[in-house]
Structures are given as structure tokens and as C-alpha cells.
Amino acid sequence: SGGHLVRDTERRALSRLERSVRERPPVRRCARSLTGDPVDADDLVQMVLERALGRLYLLRKPASLRAWLFRMTYNLYVNDRIRRGRAPITRDPHGPGLDVATAGDQEARLHAKSVINAMQRLPEDQRVAIALTALEELSYKEAAAILEIPIGTLMSRLHRGRQTLRELTEAPPERSNLKRVK
């Protein structure tokens, strides 16, 4: 009967592992919104999955796996920034970044790219709040729990972030060096 208990525990751990791998795309999106760099995001996701696998026994409610992985992603990101001496995140808005994966006309693609660039220019606390609620579609309660802040603070960050995004995306576009050819 003792061996049966071990097999049940292993079976449950394997089931949790399978679910954590299925949660990889949302965790990767979250990591991309934090780091702004696909390579750094992949490294962060790898660290998250390794840590999650080693600590599956700590997950008390299997239904909260996604929030647990997001919290771990955010914590590892913050810890890495602290370890690096809080080096500022610099991003080249014209370099590699989030891919615009929208089909359609150039105008829609340019607008999507401007929103992505504007998101990367937001202060980190606002960017993370918007990423968790808008991109990952978490409730305010879930996002606040992940960030370990009161819901009112989350709502304030969302308000300021959305306002800044509106200002950045509604601003007249920078003049292009392109010349009109007739």
C-alpha cells in the first residue's frame, strides 16, 4: 500500500507538470512583456519551468497553477534585476522586439507596432499591470495577488498606464525619413 501511495503522488506530480507545460505560452507572453526581449524572455521561462518542476509539491491548489507560474515569473524577473544591480532596461524600439503578428494592411501593422513600442516605454509597474490584465486576461483580484499589491493600487497603475498608452499612441507620429516618390 505504501508503493501505491508513491505512485499516486507521482501521477499527480506528472499531471501538474503536463499542465505547467501547457501554460508555457501565457508565461512566455508575460516574460516577453517584462523583458522586452525574446531571448531574455525564453531564458526567464526556462528558469520558471525549472523552478516550478522542482517545487510542484508547494502548489496547494492545482487550479491556481497559472497564477503561481505568473507570480514565479515576476519574482524571478525582479530578482534577476536586483542581482544585476538594478540595471535599467534599455530597448531599441526599432530593433528586435515583440513581433507584430497581425494580418492586414500596413496601417494596422504600424498601429500595432506603435502600441507595442508604447508598452515598452511604460514604467515597469504599469507595464506589468497592463500585461497581466489585458494580455493575459487575469482578473484584477488575480493580478493584484500575483503582484502582492492591493486591488486599488493595481487599478491606479492600470489607469496611469492606459492614460500614458493613449498619449503615446495618439501623439503625432515621428517624421519619417522616407521621401514620397511620384
CB 48 within 8 A of CB 9: no
pLDDT at residue 160, as a whole number: 95
Q: What is the structure's pLDDT at 131?
A: 86
- The overall average pLDDT reported for the chain is 75
Confidence bin at 158 (pLDDT 50/70/90): very high
Question: pLDDT by residue (tens digit) across 46-55?
Answer: 898 888 888 8
For residues 20 and 168, the model is more confident at 168
Q: How far apart are alpha carbons 74 and 48 in whole angstroms? A: 9
Distance CA(51)–CA(77), nearest Å, equals 13
Q: What is the pLDDT of residues 79-129, one digit of tens each?
A: 887 787 754 444 444 444 444 443 456 776 676 677 777 888 889 899 889
